[in-house]
Amino acid sequence: MTAYIVRRLFATLPVMAVVALFVFFLLRFAPGDPAAIIAGEDATTEAIEAVRAKLGLDRPMVEQFFVWVTQLLRGDLGVSIFSNLPVTRLISQRLEPTVALTLSTLFVAVAMAIPIGVLAAWKVRKWVDRVVMGFAVLGFAMPVFVLAYILIYFFAVQWQMLPVQGYQPIKEGLWPFVESLILPSLALGITYMALIARTTRASMLEVLSQDYIRTANSKGLATGRVLLLHALKNAAVPIITVIGIGIALLISGVVITETVFNIPGLGRLTVDAVLKRDYPVVQGLILVFAGAKVLVNLVIDISYAFLDPRIRY
């Protein structure tokens, strides 16, 4: 077991190395002159040269590479062109809202999607199932920002039940914090929910057709017990996989959701950095988001071994 975890841990290194190389070469080999584009439309030659010096693009490529790699290994992501603050500090300041939003979306989506999926599999080809599947197909097509505005229009503007936008940190009180996250989580979670519900249904259907389920039913066990204890537990591996895959979806969605709801998290930071063409910040954010995604995949892979003792690599 430990050997397996260690081996998986080492397997993440080449992935992160590729990500790091990608952001390094993207800046160096981008078409046109990145320094001129970052400096802006009507920048003077001096301003462009200043940006170039700041990014270290005026030095030889090999030197740039070694400086960059040593900095990165020390956990130094560079300095923002715009605010001159270290990128690591900018990121850590904005971390809390994004983590809160991601976790609450994860919770809302899983808590709603798994029961729905189980229900659909139990009542397969009945109207409940058709409604769930219809919802799943719609969920895949619904852009996050469109759903977000529909939710805001009804729940915040028309019925005034929830705040229109904004974020309340948890230290301001639990209810305002929860309240500020309800609509963003629903908007961000819709596609994710559709994905989990669909996979839960498919995985449950496969398990429910097996002999031991028929045995359990015929010996008179309560339906709920058969569904949840016998079936769902064995249907778990694909569901966990898709929960993991979906976190990637959430990370992309966070950027848009935070913009709609004006949440001061990493997504908002990304958009601000893009609009100001603050490449060091964008680069730092890519590394952080990719790192988070790789870490989630690692956790999912390790969880397989616990869920299904037959799985050993």
Partner 1 sequence: MAIIADDLALPPARRFSMWRAIRRNPTVALGGVLLAVLVVMAVFAPLIATNDPFKIAPVNRLRPPSERWWFGTDQFGRDVFSRTVYGARVSLIVGLSVAAISSILGLALGLACGYFRRVDSIVMRIMDGLMAIPSILLAIALITLSRPGLGIVIVAIVIPEVPRIVRVVRAVVLSIRAQPYVESAIAGGTRNWKLLTRHILPNTLAPLIVQSTYVCASAMLTEAGLSFLGAGVPPEVPSWGNIIAQGRTFFQIAPWTIMIPGTFLAVTVLAVNLLGDGLRDRLDPRLARRL
Q: Which residues bind partner 1 (CB under 8 A)?
A: 14-19, 21-23, 26-27, 30-32, 34, 37-38, 137-138, 140-146, 149-150, 152-153, 157, 164, 198, 202, 248, 251-252, 255-256, 259-260, 270-271, 273-275, 277-279, 282-283, 285-286, 289-290, 293-294
DSSP calls for 244-282 = HHHHHHHHHHHHHHHHHHT--SHHHHHHHHHHTT-HHHH
User: From the CB of 53, what's the least distance to partner 1, in Å?
Assistant: 17
The 10 Å CB-count burial string (b at 16+, else e) for 255-292 is bbbbbbbebbbbbbbbebbeebbbbbbbbbbbbbbbeb
Minimum CB distance to partner 1 smaller for 23 or for 119: 23
User: From the CB of 255, what's the least distance to partner 1, in Å?
Assistant: 6
Rounded CA-CA distance 120/47 in Å is: 61
Minimum CB distance to partner 1 smaller for 178 or for 256: 256
Minimum CB distance to partner 1 smaller for 153 or for 306: 153
User: From the CB of 194, what's the least distance to partner 1, in Å?
Assistant: 11
Minimum CB distance to partner 1 smaller for 18 or for 111: 18
Residue in this structure with the two tokens 């990165």, named with its chain if needed? 72
Minimum CB distance to partner 1 smaller for 82 or for 177: 82
Rounded to 5 degrees, what are φ and ψ at 81? -65, -35
User: From the CB of 132, what's the least distance to partner 1, in Å?
Assistant: 14
User: From the CB of 162, what's the least distance to partner 1, in Å?
Assistant: 14
User: From the CB of 109, what's the least distance to partner 1, in Å?
Assistant: 17
Rounded CA-CA distance 205/201 in Å is: 6
Q: Is the dihedral of CA 229, 232, 237, 242 positive or negative?
A: negative
Rounded CA-CA distance 187/191 in Å is: 9
Minimum CB distance to partner 1 smaller for 104 or for 270: 270
